[in-house]
Chain A
Amino acid sequence: MSLEKKDEHDHKGWMEERDLTALEERYLTLLMWLDKRLRLVDYLELLEDLYYKVNMQMPKSHTEQYGLDNKFWYWYPLYALGSFSTIAYLVAAISGALLGFYYAPAAAGATGDPTVAFNSVTAIMQDLNFGYMLRSIHRWSAQVMTAAVFLHMLRVYFTGAYKEPRELNWIIGIVLISLTMVFGYSGYLLPWNQLSYWAGQIGVEMALSIPLAGEWTAQLLFGGFTLTQATLQRMYILHVFFLPFIVTGLIAVHIGIVWMQGIAEPH
Protein backbone atom coordinates (compact mmCIF):
# COMPACT_ATOMS: atom_id res chain seq x y z
CA MET A 1 0.00 0.00 0.00
CA SER A 2 1.50 3.21 -1.04
CA LEU A 3 1.57 6.27 1.20
CA GLU A 4 1.39 8.51 -1.79
CA LYS A 5 -1.42 10.99 -1.45
CA LYS A 6 -4.31 10.24 -3.71
CA ASP A 7 -5.19 12.80 -6.29
CA GLU A 8 -8.73 13.81 -5.42
CA HIS A 9 -9.28 15.23 -8.82
CA ASP A 10 -8.29 12.12 -10.67
CA HIS A 11 -11.69 11.73 -12.28
CA LYS A 12 -10.36 9.34 -14.87
CA GLY A 13 -9.08 6.92 -12.23
CA TRP A 14 -12.31 7.24 -10.30
CA MET A 15 -14.23 6.45 -13.43
CA GLU A 16 -12.14 3.40 -14.23
CA GLU A 17 -12.49 1.82 -10.80
CA ARG A 18 -16.25 1.90 -11.12
CA ASP A 19 -18.23 -0.67 -13.00
CA LEU A 20 -19.91 1.36 -15.69
CA THR A 21 -21.85 0.43 -18.78
CA ALA A 22 -20.62 1.69 -22.12
CA LEU A 23 -23.36 4.30 -22.20
CA GLU A 24 -22.62 5.58 -18.72
CA GLU A 25 -18.93 5.70 -19.53
CA ARG A 26 -19.48 7.71 -22.65
CA TYR A 27 -21.86 10.03 -20.89
CA LEU A 28 -19.38 10.62 -18.06
CA THR A 29 -16.52 11.21 -20.46
CA LEU A 30 -18.55 13.78 -22.32
CA LEU A 31 -19.70 15.38 -19.09
CA MET A 32 -16.15 15.60 -17.77
CA TRP A 33 -14.90 16.95 -21.07
CA LEU A 34 -17.51 19.70 -20.99
CA ASP A 35 -17.11 20.38 -17.29
CA LYS A 36 -13.36 20.80 -17.63
CA ARG A 37 -13.94 23.51 -20.20
CA LEU A 38 -17.18 25.12 -19.14
CA ARG A 39 -17.24 24.35 -15.40
CA LEU A 40 -20.79 23.05 -15.60
CA VAL A 41 -20.76 22.22 -11.92
CA ASP A 42 -21.19 25.88 -11.16
CA TYR A 43 -24.53 25.88 -12.93
CA LEU A 44 -25.65 22.54 -11.54
CA GLU A 45 -27.41 24.10 -8.60
CA LEU A 46 -29.44 26.32 -10.91
CA LEU A 47 -30.46 23.35 -13.03
CA GLU A 48 -31.37 21.28 -10.02
CA ASP A 49 -33.45 24.11 -8.63
CA LEU A 50 -35.23 24.48 -11.94
CA TYR A 51 -35.85 20.76 -12.14
CA TYR A 52 -37.49 20.65 -8.73
CA LYS A 53 -39.52 23.77 -9.41
CA VAL A 54 -40.85 22.32 -12.62
CA ASN A 55 -41.51 18.82 -11.43
CA MET A 56 -42.50 18.53 -7.84
CA GLN A 57 -43.40 19.96 -4.49
CA MET A 58 -45.71 22.62 -5.80
CA PRO A 59 -46.99 24.44 -2.75
CA LYS A 60 -50.72 24.15 -2.36
CA SER A 61 -52.46 26.88 -4.24
CA HIS A 62 -54.90 29.16 -2.50
CA THR A 63 -57.87 27.38 -4.04
CA GLU A 64 -56.65 24.00 -2.90
CA GLN A 65 -55.76 25.16 0.57
CA TYR A 66 -59.17 26.61 1.26
CA GLY A 67 -61.17 24.12 -0.78
CA LEU A 68 -62.42 26.71 -3.24
CA ASP A 69 -62.14 24.41 -6.25
CA ASN A 70 -65.88 23.95 -6.51
CA LYS A 71 -66.41 27.72 -6.58
CA PHE A 72 -63.40 28.60 -8.66
CA TRP A 73 -63.79 26.53 -11.80
CA TYR A 74 -66.29 28.76 -13.53
CA TRP A 75 -63.89 31.68 -13.21
CA TYR A 76 -61.14 29.67 -14.83
CA PRO A 77 -61.64 30.90 -18.44
CA LEU A 78 -61.14 34.45 -17.19
CA TYR A 79 -57.83 33.38 -15.70
CA ALA A 80 -56.66 31.99 -19.05
CA LEU A 81 -56.97 35.31 -20.91
CA GLY A 82 -53.36 36.26 -20.30
CA SER A 83 -52.05 33.07 -21.81
CA PHE A 84 -54.55 33.34 -24.65
CA SER A 85 -53.16 36.72 -25.59
CA THR A 86 -49.63 35.28 -25.45
CA ILE A 87 -50.64 32.43 -27.75
CA ALA A 88 -52.30 34.86 -30.15
CA TYR A 89 -49.12 36.94 -30.05
CA LEU A 90 -47.08 33.89 -31.06
CA VAL A 91 -49.47 33.07 -33.91
CA ALA A 92 -49.28 36.69 -35.09
CA ALA A 93 -45.48 36.59 -34.89
CA ILE A 94 -45.21 33.44 -37.00
CA SER A 95 -47.77 34.51 -39.61
CA GLY A 96 -46.26 38.01 -39.63
CA ALA A 97 -42.79 36.65 -40.33
CA LEU A 98 -44.22 34.66 -43.24
CA LEU A 99 -46.04 37.74 -44.56
CA GLY A 100 -42.78 39.63 -44.30
CA PHE A 101 -41.33 37.38 -47.02
CA TYR A 102 -43.75 38.87 -49.53
CA TYR A 103 -44.40 42.41 -48.34
CA ALA A 104 -42.43 45.48 -49.47
CA PRO A 105 -42.85 48.78 -47.61
CA ALA A 106 -42.62 51.13 -50.55
CA ALA A 107 -45.11 53.85 -51.41
CA ALA A 108 -44.28 56.64 -53.81
CA GLY A 109 -47.21 58.68 -52.53
CA ALA A 110 -50.96 58.69 -52.12
CA THR A 111 -52.32 59.58 -55.54
CA GLY A 112 -54.94 56.89 -55.70
CA ASP A 113 -52.78 54.67 -57.89
CA PRO A 114 -51.72 51.35 -56.38
CA THR A 115 -48.31 51.65 -54.76
CA VAL A 116 -45.69 48.94 -54.29
CA ALA A 117 -46.86 48.26 -50.74
CA PHE A 118 -50.47 48.07 -51.84
CA ASN A 119 -49.57 45.84 -54.76
CA SER A 120 -47.58 43.47 -52.59
CA VAL A 121 -50.55 43.09 -50.23
CA THR A 122 -52.81 42.51 -53.22
CA ALA A 123 -50.36 39.93 -54.58
CA ILE A 124 -50.29 38.18 -51.21
CA MET A 125 -54.07 37.99 -51.21
CA GLN A 126 -54.67 37.11 -54.84
CA ASP A 127 -51.63 35.34 -56.27
CA LEU A 128 -49.83 33.69 -53.37
CA ASN A 129 -50.92 30.19 -52.41
CA PHE A 130 -52.71 30.43 -49.06
CA GLY A 131 -51.74 34.11 -48.99
CA TYR A 132 -55.29 35.23 -48.29
CA MET A 133 -55.44 32.78 -45.40
CA LEU A 134 -52.05 33.92 -44.13
CA ARG A 135 -53.04 37.56 -44.00
CA SER A 136 -56.38 36.63 -42.53
CA ILE A 137 -54.70 34.64 -39.77
CA HIS A 138 -52.31 37.48 -39.04
CA ARG A 139 -55.13 39.97 -38.83
CA TRP A 140 -57.38 37.81 -36.71
CA SER A 141 -54.67 36.79 -34.29
CA ALA A 142 -53.89 40.47 -33.80
CA GLN A 143 -57.56 41.23 -33.19
CA VAL A 144 -57.89 38.31 -30.80
CA MET A 145 -54.73 39.30 -28.96
CA THR A 146 -55.99 42.83 -28.43
CA ALA A 147 -59.40 41.62 -27.31
CA ALA A 148 -57.85 39.10 -24.92
CA VAL A 149 -55.53 41.75 -23.52
CA PHE A 150 -58.43 44.12 -22.83
CA LEU A 151 -60.48 41.39 -21.17
CA HIS A 152 -57.41 40.31 -19.22
CA MET A 153 -57.08 43.84 -17.88
CA LEU A 154 -60.74 43.90 -16.87
CA ARG A 155 -60.37 40.57 -15.09
CA VAL A 156 -57.35 41.85 -13.20
CA TYR A 157 -59.22 45.01 -12.28
CA PHE A 158 -62.41 43.38 -11.06
CA THR A 159 -60.65 40.69 -9.03
CA GLY A 160 -58.36 43.23 -7.40
CA ALA A 161 -55.34 41.34 -8.66
CA TYR A 162 -53.33 44.54 -9.09
CA LYS A 163 -53.04 45.03 -5.34
CA GLU A 164 -50.10 45.10 -3.01
CA PRO A 165 -47.20 43.06 -4.30
CA ARG A 166 -48.37 43.37 -7.91
CA GLU A 167 -48.46 47.11 -8.64
CA LEU A 168 -45.35 46.95 -10.78
CA ASN A 169 -46.83 44.22 -12.95
CA TRP A 170 -50.01 46.27 -13.37
CA ILE A 171 -47.90 49.17 -14.67
CA ILE A 172 -45.97 46.87 -17.01
CA GLY A 173 -49.36 45.61 -18.16
CA ILE A 174 -50.51 49.16 -18.96
CA VAL A 175 -47.33 49.70 -20.98
CA LEU A 176 -47.92 46.38 -22.76
CA ILE A 177 -51.53 47.13 -23.65
CA SER A 178 -50.48 50.53 -25.00
CA LEU A 179 -47.71 48.96 -27.06
CA THR A 180 -50.18 46.35 -28.32
CA MET A 181 -52.34 49.17 -29.62
CA VAL A 182 -49.32 50.85 -31.23
CA PHE A 183 -48.53 47.46 -32.79
CA GLY A 184 -52.03 47.29 -34.19
CA TYR A 185 -51.94 50.89 -35.39
CA SER A 186 -48.59 50.54 -37.19
CA GLY A 187 -49.82 47.33 -38.81
CA TYR A 188 -53.03 49.07 -39.88
CA LEU A 189 -50.95 51.55 -41.90
CA LEU A 190 -48.86 48.99 -43.75
CA PRO A 191 -51.26 48.01 -46.61
CA TRP A 192 -51.32 51.72 -47.56
CA ASN A 193 -54.95 51.71 -48.59
CA GLN A 194 -57.48 54.48 -48.02
CA LEU A 195 -58.17 53.58 -44.39
CA SER A 196 -54.44 53.27 -43.64
CA TYR A 197 -53.76 56.64 -45.17
CA TRP A 198 -56.47 58.48 -43.29
CA ALA A 199 -55.75 56.71 -40.02
CA GLY A 200 -52.16 57.83 -40.52
CA GLN A 201 -53.39 61.36 -41.14
CA ILE A 202 -55.18 61.34 -37.79
CA GLY A 203 -52.03 59.97 -36.16
CA VAL A 204 -49.90 62.79 -37.56
CA GLU A 205 -52.41 65.35 -36.35
CA MET A 206 -52.49 63.79 -32.90
CA ALA A 207 -48.70 63.85 -32.75
CA LEU A 208 -48.62 67.48 -33.93
CA SER A 209 -51.10 68.58 -31.28
CA ILE A 210 -48.90 67.45 -28.40
CA PRO A 211 -47.73 70.64 -26.68
CA LEU A 212 -44.02 71.54 -27.09
CA ALA A 213 -42.82 68.18 -28.39
CA GLY A 214 -45.44 67.84 -31.13
CA GLU A 215 -43.37 68.55 -34.22
CA TRP A 216 -40.49 66.54 -32.91
CA THR A 217 -42.78 63.55 -32.24
CA ALA A 218 -44.32 63.81 -35.69
CA GLN A 219 -40.86 63.87 -37.26
CA LEU A 220 -39.70 60.92 -35.19
CA LEU A 221 -42.71 58.63 -35.66
CA PHE A 222 -44.08 59.68 -39.03
CA GLY A 223 -41.00 61.08 -40.72
CA GLY A 224 -42.60 64.42 -41.48
CA PHE A 225 -45.84 66.37 -41.24
CA THR A 226 -47.46 64.75 -44.25
CA LEU A 227 -47.67 61.08 -45.10
CA THR A 228 -44.91 59.96 -47.43
CA GLN A 229 -42.67 57.02 -48.12
CA ALA A 230 -40.83 57.90 -44.88
CA THR A 231 -44.03 57.36 -42.86
CA LEU A 232 -44.62 53.92 -44.28
CA GLN A 233 -41.02 52.90 -43.76
CA ARG A 234 -40.98 54.08 -40.16
CA MET A 235 -44.22 52.28 -39.41
CA TYR A 236 -42.77 49.16 -41.01
CA ILE A 237 -39.59 49.26 -38.92
CA LEU A 238 -41.63 49.95 -35.78
CA HIS A 239 -43.90 47.04 -36.61
CA VAL A 240 -41.26 44.45 -37.51
CA PHE A 241 -38.20 45.56 -35.55
CA PHE A 242 -38.65 47.79 -32.50
CA LEU A 243 -42.01 46.65 -31.21
CA PRO A 244 -41.35 42.89 -31.51
CA PHE A 245 -38.19 43.17 -29.40
CA ILE A 246 -39.67 45.51 -26.81
CA VAL A 247 -43.01 43.73 -26.51
CA THR A 248 -41.49 40.25 -26.39
CA GLY A 249 -39.06 41.35 -23.68
CA LEU A 250 -41.80 43.00 -21.65
CA ILE A 251 -44.07 39.96 -22.00
CA ALA A 252 -41.23 37.80 -20.68
CA VAL A 253 -40.78 40.11 -17.70
CA HIS A 254 -44.55 40.28 -17.14
CA ILE A 255 -44.92 36.49 -17.14
CA GLY A 256 -41.73 36.07 -15.10
CA ILE A 257 -43.15 38.29 -12.38
CA VAL A 258 -46.41 36.33 -12.42
CA TRP A 259 -44.40 33.14 -12.06
CA MET A 260 -42.48 34.57 -9.11
CA GLN A 261 -45.45 36.12 -7.33
CA GLY A 262 -48.04 33.53 -8.20
CA ILE A 263 -51.52 34.16 -9.53
CA ALA A 264 -53.72 36.35 -7.38
CA GLU A 265 -56.83 34.34 -6.71
CA PRO A 266 -59.90 35.99 -5.23
CA HIS A 267 -60.32 35.43 -1.51
Chain B
Amino acid sequence: MSGNDTPETETDGGTGIVPPDDETPTWSERKERTQGLSRLTYEYFERARREDQDLRQESSYVERDVLGFPAWPHEMIRNLALTSFFVGMIVFLSATLPPEMMPPANSSSTPAVILPDWYLYWSFGLLKLGPLNPELALLGGQKLMADRTYGVLANLVIVGAITIVPFLNKGAARRPVEQPFWASVGVFGVIFAFTIAVLSVKNLVPMGSHLLFDLTFLLPFVGGFISYAILKSMREGYMFTLNRRYYRLRPPK
Protein backbone atom coordinates (compact mmCIF):
# COMPACT_ATOMS: atom_id res chain seq x y z
CA MET B 1 0.00 0.00 0.00
CA SER B 2 1.82 3.10 -1.17
CA GLY B 3 1.83 6.03 1.23
CA ASN B 4 -0.28 4.24 3.75
CA ASP B 5 1.49 3.08 6.91
CA THR B 6 -1.54 1.76 8.65
CA PRO B 7 -2.32 -1.52 6.98
CA GLU B 8 -5.23 -2.19 9.30
CA THR B 9 -7.18 0.58 7.63
CA GLU B 10 -9.43 -1.02 5.12
CA THR B 11 -9.74 0.90 1.87
CA ASP B 12 -11.24 -1.83 -0.19
CA GLY B 13 -14.58 -1.97 1.51
CA GLY B 14 -13.92 -5.57 2.54
CA THR B 15 -13.89 -6.86 -1.01
CA GLY B 16 -10.20 -7.69 -1.19
CA ILE B 17 -10.03 -5.78 -4.45
CA VAL B 18 -7.51 -2.94 -4.40
CA PRO B 19 -6.22 -0.64 -7.13
CA PRO B 20 -2.84 -1.67 -8.56
CA ASP B 21 0.19 -0.14 -6.85
CA ASP B 22 3.96 -0.56 -7.26
CA GLU B 23 3.94 -4.01 -5.81
CA THR B 24 1.14 -5.32 -7.95
CA PRO B 25 2.70 -7.54 -10.60
CA THR B 26 2.30 -6.38 -14.17
CA TRP B 27 0.72 -8.72 -16.65
CA SER B 28 4.06 -9.75 -18.12
CA GLU B 29 5.33 -10.48 -14.61
CA ARG B 30 2.29 -12.58 -13.96
CA LYS B 31 2.91 -14.44 -17.19
CA GLU B 32 6.49 -15.21 -16.20
CA ARG B 33 5.57 -17.77 -13.61
CA THR B 34 8.16 -17.80 -10.88
CA GLN B 35 8.18 -21.37 -9.72
CA GLY B 36 7.29 -24.94 -10.31
CA LEU B 37 5.87 -26.59 -13.38
CA SER B 38 4.25 -23.45 -14.68
CA ARG B 39 7.63 -21.68 -14.66
CA LEU B 40 9.11 -24.65 -16.51
CA THR B 41 6.32 -24.61 -19.05
CA TYR B 42 6.81 -20.89 -19.61
CA GLU B 43 10.55 -21.28 -20.08
CA TYR B 44 10.09 -24.16 -22.48
CA PHE B 45 7.58 -22.28 -24.57
CA GLU B 46 9.87 -19.27 -24.76
CA ARG B 47 12.72 -21.51 -25.88
CA ALA B 48 10.54 -23.32 -28.38
CA ARG B 49 9.32 -20.07 -29.83
CA ARG B 50 12.87 -18.81 -30.20
CA GLU B 51 13.95 -22.07 -31.78
CA ASP B 52 11.09 -21.91 -34.22
CA GLN B 53 12.02 -18.37 -35.16
CA ASP B 54 15.70 -19.26 -35.64
CA LEU B 55 14.79 -22.24 -37.80
CA ARG B 56 12.57 -20.09 -39.95
CA GLN B 57 15.31 -17.54 -40.44
CA GLU B 58 17.94 -20.13 -41.27
CA SER B 59 15.79 -22.16 -43.62
CA SER B 60 15.91 -21.83 -47.37
CA TYR B 61 12.25 -22.75 -47.53
CA VAL B 62 10.61 -20.90 -50.37
CA GLU B 63 7.67 -18.77 -49.41
CA ARG B 64 5.56 -17.11 -52.02
CA ASP B 65 6.02 -13.44 -52.53
CA VAL B 66 2.62 -13.14 -54.22
CA LEU B 67 -0.77 -14.07 -52.93
CA GLY B 68 -1.22 -17.82 -52.84
CA PHE B 69 -3.88 -19.84 -54.56
CA PRO B 70 -6.81 -18.61 -52.47
CA ALA B 71 -8.99 -20.95 -50.47
CA TRP B 72 -12.06 -19.03 -51.56
CA PRO B 73 -13.38 -19.38 -54.18
CA HIS B 74 -10.88 -21.52 -56.07
CA GLU B 75 -10.18 -24.33 -53.62
CA MET B 76 -13.70 -24.31 -52.25
CA ILE B 77 -15.33 -24.65 -55.66
CA ARG B 78 -13.05 -27.52 -56.53
CA ASN B 79 -13.83 -29.21 -53.21
CA LEU B 80 -17.54 -28.61 -53.71
CA ALA B 81 -17.38 -30.20 -57.15
CA LEU B 82 -15.53 -33.24 -55.82
CA THR B 83 -17.93 -33.53 -52.88
CA SER B 84 -21.05 -33.38 -55.02
CA PHE B 85 -19.60 -35.93 -57.41
CA PHE B 86 -18.86 -38.22 -54.50
CA VAL B 87 -22.24 -37.79 -52.82
CA GLY B 88 -23.81 -38.38 -56.21
CA MET B 89 -21.94 -41.66 -56.37
CA ILE B 90 -23.38 -42.72 -53.00
CA VAL B 91 -26.90 -41.76 -54.09
CA PHE B 92 -26.49 -43.66 -57.35
CA LEU B 93 -25.30 -46.76 -55.51
CA SER B 94 -28.19 -46.59 -53.05
CA ALA B 95 -30.74 -46.12 -55.80
CA THR B 96 -29.46 -49.10 -57.78
CA LEU B 97 -28.52 -51.49 -54.97
CA PRO B 98 -30.92 -51.02 -52.05
CA PRO B 99 -30.66 -53.19 -48.91
CA GLU B 100 -32.64 -56.39 -48.93
CA MET B 101 -35.47 -57.36 -46.60
CA MET B 102 -34.55 -60.05 -44.11
CA PRO B 103 -36.70 -62.30 -41.90
CA PRO B 104 -37.04 -61.12 -38.28
CA ALA B 105 -34.75 -62.40 -35.53
CA ASN B 106 -35.42 -65.97 -34.50
CA SER B 107 -33.30 -67.64 -31.86
CA SER B 108 -34.61 -71.10 -32.65
CA SER B 109 -33.57 -71.27 -36.30
CA THR B 110 -29.90 -70.79 -37.13
CA PRO B 111 -29.43 -69.53 -40.71
CA ALA B 112 -27.09 -71.51 -42.98
CA VAL B 113 -24.79 -68.55 -43.45
CA ILE B 114 -23.98 -66.25 -40.54
CA LEU B 115 -21.89 -63.33 -41.62
CA PRO B 116 -21.05 -59.89 -40.33
CA ASP B 117 -20.64 -57.03 -42.81
CA TRP B 118 -17.78 -57.46 -45.26
CA TYR B 119 -15.37 -55.20 -43.34
CA LEU B 120 -15.42 -57.60 -40.38
CA TYR B 121 -14.72 -60.75 -42.42
CA TRP B 122 -11.03 -60.63 -41.48
CA SER B 123 -11.89 -60.44 -37.81
CA PHE B 124 -14.46 -63.23 -38.23
CA GLY B 125 -11.83 -65.38 -39.95
CA LEU B 126 -9.37 -64.81 -37.11
CA LEU B 127 -11.90 -66.40 -34.76
CA LYS B 128 -11.45 -69.65 -36.69
CA LEU B 129 -7.74 -70.05 -36.02
CA GLY B 130 -8.36 -72.96 -33.64
CA PRO B 131 -6.01 -75.37 -35.49
CA LEU B 132 -3.13 -72.98 -34.81
CA ASN B 133 -3.75 -72.94 -31.07
CA PRO B 134 -0.80 -74.93 -29.73
CA GLU B 135 -1.30 -77.92 -27.49
CA LEU B 136 1.40 -77.57 -24.90
CA ALA B 137 3.34 -80.65 -23.74
CA LEU B 138 3.93 -78.84 -20.45
CA LEU B 139 0.21 -78.82 -19.76
CA GLY B 140 -0.07 -82.48 -20.75
CA GLY B 141 -1.42 -81.80 -24.24
CA GLN B 142 -3.87 -79.23 -22.91
CA LYS B 143 -4.34 -75.95 -24.68
CA LEU B 144 -3.29 -72.83 -22.84
CA MET B 145 -6.52 -71.08 -23.73
CA ALA B 146 -9.81 -71.93 -25.35
CA ASP B 147 -9.94 -71.69 -29.13
CA ARG B 148 -12.30 -68.76 -29.05
CA THR B 149 -10.10 -66.84 -26.60
CA TYR B 150 -7.23 -67.51 -29.00
CA GLY B 151 -9.27 -66.05 -31.85
CA VAL B 152 -10.14 -62.87 -29.94
CA LEU B 153 -6.51 -62.45 -28.88
CA ALA B 154 -5.44 -62.82 -32.53
CA ASN B 155 -7.56 -59.77 -33.31
CA LEU B 156 -5.85 -57.76 -30.59
CA VAL B 157 -2.40 -58.91 -31.74
CA ILE B 158 -3.06 -57.83 -35.32
CA VAL B 159 -4.43 -54.42 -34.36
CA GLY B 160 -1.52 -53.95 -31.94
CA ALA B 161 1.01 -54.88 -34.61
CA ILE B 162 -0.45 -52.34 -37.02
CA THR B 163 -0.42 -49.73 -34.28
CA ILE B 164 3.29 -49.99 -33.53
CA VAL B 165 4.42 -49.91 -37.17
CA PRO B 166 5.65 -46.28 -36.91
CA PHE B 167 7.89 -47.25 -34.03
CA LEU B 168 9.40 -50.22 -35.88
CA ASN B 169 9.90 -48.68 -39.29
CA LYS B 170 11.85 -45.46 -38.94
CA GLY B 171 13.93 -43.43 -41.35
CA ALA B 172 13.30 -41.12 -44.25
CA ALA B 173 12.33 -43.74 -46.84
CA ARG B 174 8.84 -43.13 -48.16
CA ARG B 175 8.33 -44.98 -51.42
CA PRO B 176 7.82 -48.72 -51.55
CA VAL B 177 10.87 -48.92 -53.84
CA GLU B 178 13.01 -47.47 -51.09
CA GLN B 179 11.79 -49.91 -48.46
CA PRO B 180 11.08 -53.26 -50.15
CA PHE B 181 10.78 -55.11 -46.85
CA TRP B 182 8.05 -52.95 -45.35
CA ALA B 183 6.20 -52.69 -48.63
CA SER B 184 6.14 -56.48 -48.90
CA VAL B 185 4.94 -56.69 -45.30
CA GLY B 186 2.08 -54.46 -46.43
CA VAL B 187 1.35 -56.69 -49.43
CA PHE B 188 1.43 -59.68 -47.08
CA GLY B 189 -1.11 -57.95 -44.84
CA VAL B 190 -3.46 -57.05 -47.68
CA ILE B 191 -3.44 -60.58 -49.13
CA PHE B 192 -3.84 -62.06 -45.65
CA ALA B 193 -6.86 -59.85 -45.03
CA PHE B 194 -8.47 -61.39 -48.13
CA THR B 195 -7.47 -65.00 -47.50
CA ILE B 196 -8.55 -64.90 -43.87
CA ALA B 197 -11.86 -63.43 -45.07
CA VAL B 198 -12.27 -66.41 -47.39
CA LEU B 199 -11.42 -68.72 -44.47
CA SER B 200 -14.27 -67.18 -42.49
CA VAL B 201 -16.75 -68.50 -45.06
CA LYS B 202 -15.04 -71.86 -45.53
CA ASN B 203 -18.33 -73.73 -45.75
CA LEU B 204 -19.12 -71.77 -48.93
CA VAL B 205 -15.77 -72.36 -50.64
CA PRO B 206 -15.67 -75.43 -52.88
CA MET B 207 -12.30 -76.61 -51.60
CA GLY B 208 -10.97 -79.01 -48.97
CA SER B 209 -10.84 -77.24 -45.63
CA HIS B 210 -7.22 -78.31 -44.99
CA LEU B 211 -6.08 -77.01 -48.36
CA LEU B 212 -7.98 -73.78 -47.73
CA PHE B 213 -6.38 -73.38 -44.32
CA ASP B 214 -2.90 -73.93 -45.77
CA LEU B 215 -3.53 -71.55 -48.65
CA THR B 216 -4.74 -68.90 -46.19
CA PHE B 217 -1.26 -68.69 -44.76
CA LEU B 218 0.78 -69.62 -47.82
CA LEU B 219 -0.65 -67.15 -50.32
CA PRO B 220 0.25 -64.04 -48.25
CA PHE B 221 3.85 -65.28 -47.98
CA VAL B 222 3.98 -65.98 -51.71
CA GLY B 223 2.63 -62.52 -52.46
CA GLY B 224 5.00 -60.94 -49.97
CA PHE B 225 8.05 -62.71 -51.43
CA ILE B 226 7.10 -61.85 -55.01
CA SER B 227 6.59 -58.18 -54.20
CA TYR B 228 9.87 -58.17 -52.27
CA ALA B 229 11.71 -59.59 -55.28
CA ILE B 230 10.05 -57.13 -57.65
CA LEU B 231 10.73 -54.13 -55.43
CA LYS B 232 14.34 -55.21 -54.86
CA SER B 233 15.00 -55.39 -58.58
CA MET B 234 13.13 -52.15 -59.10
CA ARG B 235 15.36 -50.60 -56.50
CA GLU B 236 18.40 -51.55 -58.58
CA GLY B 237 16.99 -49.59 -61.48
CA TYR B 238 15.96 -46.77 -59.20
CA MET B 239 19.44 -46.50 -57.71
CA PHE B 240 20.94 -46.76 -61.21
CA THR B 241 18.90 -43.77 -62.38
CA LEU B 242 19.75 -41.83 -59.24
CA ASN B 243 23.47 -42.57 -59.69
CA ARG B 244 23.40 -41.73 -63.37
CA ARG B 245 21.78 -38.42 -62.60
CA TYR B 246 24.35 -37.81 -59.89
CA TYR B 247 27.33 -38.54 -62.13
CA ARG B 248 25.89 -36.47 -64.97
CA LEU B 249 25.78 -33.52 -62.62
CA ARG B 250 29.20 -34.26 -61.15
CA PRO B 251 31.22 -36.26 -63.70
CA PRO B 252 34.14 -38.24 -62.23
CA LYS B 253 37.54 -36.74 -62.96
B108 close to chain A: CB less than 8 A: yes
B145 touches A167 (CB 8 A): no
B173 close to chain A: CB less than 8 A: yes
Residues of chain A lying within 8 A (CB to CB) of residue B103 = 112, 193-194
**B88-102 vs A: 1/0 string, CB under 8 Å?**
011101110111011
A227 touches B107 (CB 8 A): yes
Among the listed B124, B162, B174, which residue makes an inter-chain contact with A266, where contact means beta carbons less than 8 Å apart? Answer: B174
Residues of chain A lying within 8 A (CB to CB) of residue B117 = 143, 146, 184-185, 188
- List B residues 69-90 near A (Cβ within 8 Å): 69-72, 79, 82-83, 86-87, 89-90
What are 24 A-B interface contacts by the 8 Å CB criterion?
Answer: A55-B72, A57-B63, A60-B62, A60-B63, A80-B82, A110-B105, A111-B107, A113-B104, A118-B105, A132-B98, A133-B95, A137-B94, A159-B175, A163-B166, A164-B170, A181-B120, A188-B116, A188-B117, A191-B102, A192-B104, A194-B102, A194-B109, A206-B148, A266-B175
Residues of chain A lying within 8 A (CB to CB) of residue B114 = 195, 198-199, 201-202
A206 touches B104 (CB 8 A): no
Among the listed B86, B99, B107, B146, which residue makes an inter-chain contact with A110, where contact means beta carbons less than 8 Å apart? Answer: B107
B165 touches A170 (CB 8 A): yes
B223 close to chain A: CB less than 8 A: no
A31 close to chain B: CB less than 8 A: no
- Minimal Cβ-Cβ distance residue in A for B87: A91
B183 close to chain A: CB less than 8 A: yes
Residues of chain B lying within 8 A (CB to CB) of residue A13 = none
Among the listed A122, A195, A199, A206, which residue makes an inter-chain contact with B127, where contact means beta carbons less than 8 Å apart? Answer: A206
Among the listed A84, A87, A91, A163, which residue makes an inter-chain contact with B169, where contact means beta carbons less than 8 Å apart? Answer: A163
Residues of chain A lying within 8 A (CB to CB) of residue B36 = none
B152 touches A206 (CB 8 A): yes
Q: A57 to B65: give the CA distance in the assembly, Å.
A: 8
A171 close to chain B: CB less than 8 A: yes
Interface of A is mostly: helix
**B172-187 vs A: 1/0 string, CB under 8 Å?**
1111100100110010
Residues of chain A lying within 8 A (CB to CB) of residue B98 = 132-133, 135-136
A195 touches B102 (CB 8 A): yes
**Extra pairs beyond A136-B94, A160-B174, A194-B106 (15, CB < 8 Å):** A56-B68, A65-B62, A80-B82, A115-B104, A118-B104, A133-B94, A158-B183, A167-B166, A193-B104, A193-B105, A195-B102, A196-B102, A206-B127, A209-B146, A227-B107
A162 touches B165 (CB 8 A): yes
Among the listed A84, A115, A125, which residue makes an inter-chain contact with B86, where contact means beta carbons less than 8 Å apart? Answer: A84
Q: How far is the CB of B185 from chain A (nearest CB, A)?
A: 9
A193 touches B102 (CB 8 A): yes
A38 close to chain B: CB less than 8 A: no
B166 touches A122 (CB 8 A): no
Q: How far is the CB of B20 from chain A (nearest CB, A)?
A: 17
A178 touches B107 (CB 8 A): no
B115 close to chain A: CB less than 8 A: yes
| Residue positions of A touching B, CB distance < 8 A | 54-60, 65, 80, 83-84, 87-88, 91, 107, 109-115, 118, 122, 125, 132-133, 135-137, 139-141, 143-144, 146-147, 150, 154, 157-164, 166-167, 170-171, 174, 178, 181, 184-185, 188, 191-199, 201-202, 205-206, 209-211, 227, 264, 266-267
Residues of chain A lying within 8 A (CB to CB) of residue B119 = 146-147, 150, 181, 184
Instruction: Give the interface centre of B99, B105, B148, B159 by most chain A CB atoms within 10 Å.
Output: B105
B71 touches A192 (CB 8 A): no
Q: How far is the CB of B112 from chain A (nearest CB, A)?
A: 11
B110 close to chain A: CB less than 8 A: yes
Q: A132 to B137: give the CA distance in the assembly, Å.
A: 58
Residues of chain B lying within 8 A (CB to CB) of residue A80 = 82
Residues of chain A lying within 8 A (CB to CB) of residue B89 = 144
Residues of chain B lying within 8 A (CB to CB) of residue A171 = 163, 166
Among the listed B82, B90, B104, B176, which residue makes an inter-chain contact with A91, where contact means beta carbons less than 8 Å apart? Answer: B90
B205 close to chain A: CB less than 8 A: no
Complex A-B, nearest 7 residue pairs according to Cβ-Cβ distance, in ascending order: A112-B106, A136-B94, A197-B105, A193-B102, A58-B68, A167-B166, A110-B105
